[in-house]
Chains A and B, each alone.
Chain A
Amino acid sequence: MAFTTLVVAGVLSPRILAPSCSLPSSGSVFFVLGAGGGEFRRHGPRRFVTPLRGGGCKGVGRRQNCHVLYCANEVNVVTEDDTMNDVADDESASDAETEENADANGDTVDALESSDPDEVGPVTWIEQQPLPYPSDALEPYISKETVEQHWGIHQHIHVERLNGMIGGSEWEGMSLGQMMLSSFNEGREAPHPPFFHAAQIWNHDFYWRSMQPGGGSKPSERLLKFIKRDFGSYDGMIQQFMDAALTQFGSGWVWLSYKGSKLPHVNSRSPIPSDNYGRLVISKTPNAINPLVWGHSPLLAIDVWEHAYYLDYEDRRADYVSTFLEKLLSWETVESRLKKAVIRAIERDGHVSRKHVRKQLLAQGKSRIRARPQQANENARGQTSSQEKPLGV
């Protein structure tokens, strides 16, 4: 099929084997069954092969669509990778936990609109991840009561609502990350109903893991170098965090994320200027949005919904955020996420960026005598390895 040959012609990276995407002109993205991708196993019935329109998509359009798949995969990596063992081992435990919570909070759960009373013995497609530390571990900065309320009840409500919502729909059986990205609806229109709950569950899991008891302190040297390069100084970064957190009107989140590349991997854009690829960026998002849908790789999340800090700090959001940054933040987690994010970005782009090549060369050059001019090599390397050059590198 002409379609396939166009694809295989080398515009895309070898990871995609049998794509059949279409342009999102109707406002929705069709996911693909990758022949080799184990992550696609749990796709629901939402598979479409649509005929080409008007002579086929250009190469650029095709790339844009198919890279959404990468994001979905990456989301799995992000959520499940560092807690892969936890999820596998604790699935029974977390099942028990969610059941426990449901029982313990019998009154509150019933008082709220419970999702589907007909489904007794609820099927839990999605569960929230267990807390990586006991609920009073973040005292005195975040009280035990807040943690139990926030994780146990508030996040649990999202889990319940989501499970009630997706039964029998196209999202049934998807993993949390995939569900979140696929229901986002590319930001052009309102997201599909499960997005809010799925994203909030994901965001909260991410948030809990961004913290640790006895956290705070300074990041490692390597991370500090990134910070200095992208924000000027550690204090500059803190300042930007505070600004973002205090100007987020209404409910939302503040994120530190790694903006991988300039290439449009997803169709929704972030509102921050797009020439700072390959950098750390701080962004604020309303309600449940998270930077994954813009193609960034989040490194840490601060929940600035009022429920996150109201019991402990009442309306003093500034105190909450600065305490978070100084005393609770887990820089080790941030660093490990950054490592993965960089690797992911390189893989995703399908080629080695010039910067990376330069770094490699420099590293090689350091160990050898620099006899040849660096410039010529670097350009030559850049030309051959970046096949997507015309696409705006």
Chain B
Amino acid sequence: MSKRTVELHWGKHHQNYVDGLNKQLATSMFYGYTLEELIKEGYNNGNPLPEYNNAAQVWNHHFFWESMQPESGGSPEGGVLQQIEKDFGSFTNFREEFICSALSLLGSGWVWLVLKREERKLSVVCTRNAISPLALGDIPIMNLDLWEHAYYLDYKDDRRMYVTNFIDHLVSWHTVTLRMMRGEAFVNLGEPNIPVA
């Protein structure tokens, strides 16, 4: 991911979302809400309010920057790898599914690795425009920006190369591990520990 892309993406796009949101909040009833509350309330069960887009994009981009790390990628270790293997069969399967999902998205959006609350497993979802799994009730673990502004300068139309490079070289498994650990506090991934009387 080139320097120019990061400068533009973070400095202009992300900044614009922040500024836009601040302007909106000045006169809206959501003044004083935290970002996550804004997303959950603003989503309004599928009929997003005006503040939603800006808030979600700010959150999504922040999540995105943190999901990456220079010269990282490869495959995860330990607990995360175990969980991925349990839920996807193997790391290669997960990687393939992630890439396929990303390529099947039409238009602008995001592709996520989420921890689903109900099903208590990891899964890959893609969302359009600014929809966030937070609004849908799941716990996001990692995401990738598939809006064209994220990759057009570097890869032009070659989305596959962009996603492959992300998975192979940029995704930060340390952050993923941290987020999984936090997620486990909300979702019981193992068998319930029933005490024997």
- Check: A333 CB closer than 8 A to any chain B CB: no
Q: From residue 109 to 161 of chain B, which have CB atoms closer than 8 A to chain A?
A: 109, 128-130, 147-149, 152-153, 156-161
Contacting pair B148 A310 (CB below 8 A): yes
Contacting pair A307 B157 (CB below 8 A): yes
Contacting pair B148 A111 (CB below 8 A): no
Contacting pair A251 B152 (CB below 8 A): no
Chain A residues with Cβ below 8 Å from B13 are: 315
Chain B interface size, as a band, is 20 to 34
A113-B103, A251-B148 known; A108+B8 contact, CB < 8 A: no
Contacting pair B149 A306 (CB below 8 A): yes
Contacting pair B106 A108 (CB below 8 A): no
The distance in angstroms between the C-alpha atoms of A113 and B12, with both chains bound, is 32
A249-B129, A306-B152 known; A108+B157 contact, CB < 8 A: yes
Contacting pair B160 A311 (CB below 8 A): no
Chain A residues with Cβ below 8 Å from B158 are: 108, 111-112
Contacting pair B160 A250 (CB below 8 A): no
- Check: A154 CB closer than 8 A to any chain B CB: yes
- Check: B188 CB closer than 8 A to any chain A CB: no
- Check: B67 CB closer than 8 A to any chain A CB: no
- Check: A314 CB closer than 8 A to any chain B CB: yes
Q: Which residue of B lies closest to A108 (CB)?
A: B158
The distance in angstroms between the C-alpha atoms of A314 and B109, with both chains bound, is 18
CB distance from A268 to the nearest CB of B (A): 18
- Check: B107 CB closer than 8 A to any chain A CB: yes
The distance in angstroms between the C-alpha atoms of A157 and B157, with both chains bound, is 9
- Check: B108 CB closer than 8 A to any chain A CB: yes
Q: Which residue of B lies closest to A306 (CB)?
A: B148
Q: Which residue of B lies closest to A150 (CB)?
A: B157
Contacting pair B157 A153 (CB below 8 A): yes
Main secondary structure of the interface of B (DSSP, over half): helix
Q: Which of A196, A311, A315 has the most CB of B within 10 A?
A: A315
- Check: A149 CB closer than 8 A to any chain B CB: yes
Chain A, residues 139-161, CB within 8 Å of chain B (1/0): the string is 00000000001000110010000
Contacting pair A111 B160 (CB below 8 A): yes
CB distance from B35 to the nearest CB of A (A): 18
Chain B residues with Cβ below 8 Å from A196 are: 106
Contacting pair A149 B107 (CB below 8 A): no
- Check: A37 CB closer than 8 A to any chain B CB: no
Among candidates B8, B109, B152, B160, residue contacting A307 with C-beta atoms closer than 8 Å: B152
Contacting pair A310 B157 (CB below 8 A): no
Q: From residue 303 to 337 of chain A, which have CB atoms closer than 8 A to chain B?
A: 305-307, 310-311, 314-315
The distance in angstroms between the C-alpha atoms of A305 and B106, with both chains bound, is 12
CB distance from B44 to the nearest CB of A (A): 15
Contacting pair B149 A315 (CB below 8 A): yes
The distance in angstroms between the C-alpha atoms of A196 and B106, with both chains bound, is 8
Chain A, residues 344-382, CB within 8 Å of chain B (1/0): the string is 000000000000000000000000000000000000000
CB distance from B117 to the nearest CB of A (A): 25
Chain A residues with Cβ below 8 Å from B53 are: 249
Chain B, residues 154-175, CB within 8 Å of chain A (1/0): the string is 0011111100000000000000
Contacting pair B128 A149 (CB below 8 A): no
Among candidates A112, A249, A306, residue contacting B160 with C-beta atoms closer than 8 Å: A112
Q: From residue 14 to 46 of chain A, which have CB atoms closer than 8 A to chain B?
A: none
Contacting pair A149 B157 (CB below 8 A): yes
Q: Which residue of A lies closest to B104 (CB)?
A: A113
CB distance from B152 to the nearest CB of A (A): 4
Among candidates B8, B130, B148, residue contacting A305 with C-beta atoms closer than 8 Å: B148
Contacting pair A154 B12 (CB below 8 A): no
Q: Which residue of A lies closest to B106 (CB)?
A: A196
Q: From residue 177 to 208 of chain A, which have CB atoms closer than 8 A to chain B?
A: 196
Q: Which residue of A lies closest to B11 (CB)?
A: A315
Known: A153-B156, A250-B147, A286-B107. 10 other contacts (CB 8 A): A111-B160, A112-B158, A113-B103, A149-B156, A149-B157, A249-B53, A250-B109, A307-B148, A311-B153, A314-B12
List 12 contacting pairs A-B, 8 Å CB cutoff, sorted by A. A108-B157, A111-B161, A149-B156, A153-B157, A250-B129, A251-B148, A287-B106, A305-B148, A310-B152, A311-B152, A315-B16, A315-B149
**Interface of B with A (CB < 8 Å)?**
8, 12-13, 16, 53, 103, 106-109, 128-130, 147-149, 152-153, 156-161
Top 3 A-B pairs, shortest CB-CB distance = A306-B148, A250-B129, A287-B107
